[in-house]
Amino acid sequence: MDDCHTNEVWGNHEDLTDKLFSMELSQFRHHVTERLVRSVDSLSWLIQAQSETDPFDEFIAPARALVTGGKRTRAAFLLAGYQLATSAAEEPAIIAGSAMELYQASALVHDDVIDDSPTRRGMPAAHVTFSRIHTAHQWLGSSGDFSRAGAILLGDLLLSQAGREFQTAASMPSPADGRAAIEQFHDMSVDVAFGQYLDIRAEHQPLGQTDEAIAQAISVLRHKSASYSVQLPLVIGAALGGGSHRLISQLRELGGLLGEAFQMRADDLGIFGEPSQTGKPSCGDITEGKRTVLLALIRAQSKARREWVDSLLGKQLTDTDISQLRSLVITSGAREQHERMIVEREEAAKALLPTLDGRTEGTRTLTTLMDELEGRVS
């Protein structure tokens, strides 16, 4: 990317630096969103001829829609790790936070292809948008093949842009801190890819016994979701800020616990949340055949209806199916047991807060985020 393109994306570093000391979490999220939009829009340098304008716009449109939504959870945890490590201006954290969210967008686009999910954040998934384009233009070949290929390529583009963004963030602290942060960022990409494979592997295996199924589900959520949603954003932020080895080790432990709780709450919401709340169909994990901890507990606590529960996996559910499933999850005690597992992890994570080898400001931000995950803050 030449200097012209660089300035278009990154803006004036000096102007940002004057503004960003000890910013509030809401301000930080706002700055990350602004940067995300600029980063995606900056890709217009790809257009080399007027005839490429329309193809570029249709290709990039799902990405633009995707990055304007979301709660910036991963960016916010990165900020907490950064603030725990340093009192320096948060500009590197904003840029790295944008990279985290671009990576998240890439993962979501690919995940929706793998799961054949029709919606994301209340909008058509990228592959659905591409399918509609193919159909509207009456192009040759299969709309399904075109849509999947288009979405995979869009996910790859977002992944590349995430790496470019993070490289810029990592160039701002000391070389050693930058290298440490880059290493963690690459570790995150590898971990999520392995977790995604564990996920699809589990979906194609027979349903196991309770203990085995719970262990398998926890393994999937650790690699696929927990590490890159909470644990590694904390670690990456701390590494970027020059945090001590002790702090980074502590954040791995705390973030691992909190990341598991985060994903398990998301799995509960997948059963009991409404599409207007989650942006996805009700009981989507059941429809997609996901082997979650909650599913393992449902099967364990309701042996008499286990075959019925198993018959729901991978099928489109009726309103009656959803209502009966929700009732079973509650009456069987599975939801209560699942909640106890979540609370155990949240309490263990909170117990580690006072021991962190970091700054008070970072602890305060992390505490706020933990409260948000528990649903205490809207």
Can you read off the two tokens belonging to residue 25?
């979490």
The pTM (predicted TM-score) of the whole model is 0.88
CB atoms within 10 A of CB 95: 26
| Cα distances (Å, whole numbers) of residue 12 to 66, 156, 308, 336 | 25, 28, 59, 51
CA distance 45 to 216: 45
CA distance 343 to 370: 12
| Cα distances (Å, whole numbers) of residue 321 to 224, 263, 347 | 28, 24, 34
Give domain 3-373's CATH number out of 3.40.50.150, 3.30.360.10, 1.10.600.10, 3.40.630.10. 1.10.600.10
pLDDT band at 20 (very low <50, low <70, confident <90, very high): very low
Averaged pLDDT score across all residues of the chain: 88
Most confident of 14-23, 293-302, 364-373: 364-373
> Residue 90 pLDDT > 70, yes or no?
yes
CA distance 3 to 106: 25
The DSSP secondary structure of 283-317, one letter per residue, reads THHHHTT---HHHHHHHHH-GGGHHHHHHHTTSPP
* pLDDT tens-digit series, residues 39-55: 999 999 989 988 999 99
Residue ranges of domains in the chain: 3-373
CA distance 336 to 16: 47
Residues 131/147, Cβ–Cβ less than 8 Å: yes
> Residue 371 pLDDT > 60, yes or no?
yes
Can you read off the two tokens belonging to residue 277?
């709340």
CA distance 325 to 272: 10
* pLDDT tens-digit series, residues 163-195: 999 999 999 999 999 999 999 999 999 999 999
